[in-house]
Amino acid sequence: MATKSKLIQQLGVVAGFESPQVELEQYRTPPGLAAQLVHTADLQGDLQGQTVLDLGCGTGILALAAALRGPSTVVGVDIDAGALSTARENERRLGTTTAVGWVRGDATRTGLCPDGPTTVLTNPPFGAQKGNEHADRRFLETTAEVADVSYSVHNAGSQSFLEAFTRDQGGEITHAYAAEFELPRSFPFHEEQRRTIDVEVVRVDWA
């Protein structure tokens, strides 16, 4: 298995959002965090030979990282066509071993029926913007419908909500770790050039 540091280096070519849309909460996962999540999933045996779905894939960093780790199929779903065209360009730059299918649509109404054991990776909208409240819950509900296992990124402090919510949906959190998410200044209302927010990453067993 390739190392995590090699993966971080490879993901350096993955471009973020050209013109991020605030109402869609478009923030690209930094390469270090994406590599950590995907490397952990690989160590757990959740990628090799699996169907991988990246819900709200944006410019594709999670799907692309997974596509370097021997899955049978990878599909990224996002509602924003511009983000998907950057994702396609990122795929060309990175040169993954498994091709990624990019699908435009509402990730919470995919109608996707993945074949075989399925791992969902998602850094969903956190539901922090007006009009998009509870977006994270809808992403988790969809994940519960299609995944055997999932890895998702959430605001720090969500753990007790996540435990109760996943239990209600028939899942169990098996792993959780804290991470830092460095946000470059993306929107006019951001006051600093950069800001680090605390997040948590959870692995859920839905089987």
Residues that bind ligand SAH (CB under 6 A): 24-29, 56-58, 61-62, 77-80, 83, 106-108, 123, 125, 135
Of 134 and 167, the one with the shorter C-beta distance to ligand SAH is 134
Task: Write a three-state SS string for the chain.
Answer: CCCHHHHHHHHCCCCCCCCCCHHHCCCCCCHHHHHHHHHHHHHCCCCCCCEEEEECCCCCHHHHHHHCCCCCEEEEEECCHHHHHHHHHHHHHHCCCCCEEEEECCHHHCCCCCCCCEEEEECCCCCCCCCCCCHHHHHHHHHHHHCCEEEEEEECCCHHHHHHHHHHCCCEEEEEEEEEEEEECCCCCCCCCEEEEEEEEEEEECC
Of 7 and 135, the one with the shorter C-beta distance to ligand SAH is 135
> Measured from the CB of residue 194, what is the shortest distance to ligand SAH in angstroms?
16
> Measured from the CB of residue 120, what is the shortest distance to ligand SAH in angstroms?
11
Of 172 and 177, the one with the shorter C-beta distance to ligand SAH is 177
> Measured from the CB of residue 170, what is the shortest distance to ligand SAH in angstroms?
22
> Measured from the CB of residue 163, what is the shortest distance to ligand SAH in angstroms?
23
